[in-house]
Structure 1
Amino acid sequence: MPLRTATGSIAPLATAALLAITLAACTSATSLVTKRTQGYEISESAMAQIRPGQSQELVTIVLGSPQSTNTFGDQSAFYYVETKVRQTSFGVTLTDSRTVLVIYFDKNKKVVDKAVYGLKDGKTIAIESRRTSSFGEDRSFIDQILNSF
């Protein structure tokens, strides 16, 4: 009885797989990266419309509601944050740029000034991971029951 080889049935599959891998290698590397904007898209024309003396309502009409607000005594501020990121198909997110538009208001809710901050203006804050232990936290449920007797 002659031995049959499987090369006759595997050859078309192997050829198709090799062709698929070759074509995938020919695509551009940018197809593995998605560029997107997080937060607001701050346009130059919208920023140019904001001038000192305008009301808070007009700023909200032009730019939309702010991402964050802040109040310091009589003054307040609106914060609009735009972050441009690249996300790879492997889940890694890289920040390309960050723009923070801050609109400052006086006590009459009129624009006093505006400022634009970039990624280089920010400060990295280290979050403290230590925890203060509290009584009863280190004991297990059974330890607590046994100590109550």
Structure 2
Amino acid sequence: MPLRIAKASVAAAVLAVALAGCTSSTSLISKRTQGYEIPDSALQQIRPGQSQQLVTLVLGSPQTTNTFGDRTAWYYVETKVNQTSFGMTMIQERTVLAIYFDRNKKVIERAVYALEDGKAVNIETRRTPSFGEDATFIDTILSSF
């Protein structure tokens, strides 16, 4: 009888520990930010006419840059994601801060783009065949005779 009570209490303790990890469904999902966090106070400091040096002091180095003729653009990307404990990542919000400079390295304008402003691009899946690429192993052996 005491052995049966001991087994039952051990089973109850194991069950309690297992259920303690599952008390809330939010413990399985963590929210985090990938990339650059764009604070509102920094956005308010960037105005037309300011220099690239000041922008670097306020926001730091850009994640990517682009040059169109005599205009330069700096991009800061913030992506808020939910990640499950199983490694699956779901994008909740994406913000891209674009700052455009003239040839004198002064701010012309700034723009904030959201996930809804983006466009899906279909990747072309057709391929141009090249010599020997589509031959199978057996084709290769037979062609050697």
TM-score range for the pair, normalised by the shorter chain length: 0.7 to 0.9
SS of alignment partner, residue 21 of structure 2: helix
Residue of structure 2 aligned with 1:71, choices 64, 67, 78: 67
Structure 1 position 100 matched with structure 2 position 96: yes
Q: Deviations over 1:29-88 (max 9, x none)?
A: 211111111110101111111111111122112111111111111111001000111101
CA distance in 1, matches of 2:116, 2:107: 25
Q: 1 CA distance for matches of 2:57 and 2:15? A: 56
Residue 128 of structure 1, CA deviation: 2.6
State the identity as a percent.
64
Structure 2 residue 18 is matched with structure 1 residue 21: yes
Structure 2 gap segments, 5+ residues each: none
Correspondences of 1:1-149 after superposition (within 5 Å): 7=4, 10-25=7-22, 27-140=23-136, 143-144=139-140, 147=143
Give the alignment's TM-score, normalised by structure 1.
Answer: 0.83
Question: Larger radius of gyration, structure 1 or 2?
Answer: 1
Distance 2:137 2:19 in 1: 60
Whichever residue aligns with residue 130 of structure 1, its letter is R
Cα distance in 2 for partners of 1:78, 1:9 equals 67
Aligned residues: 144
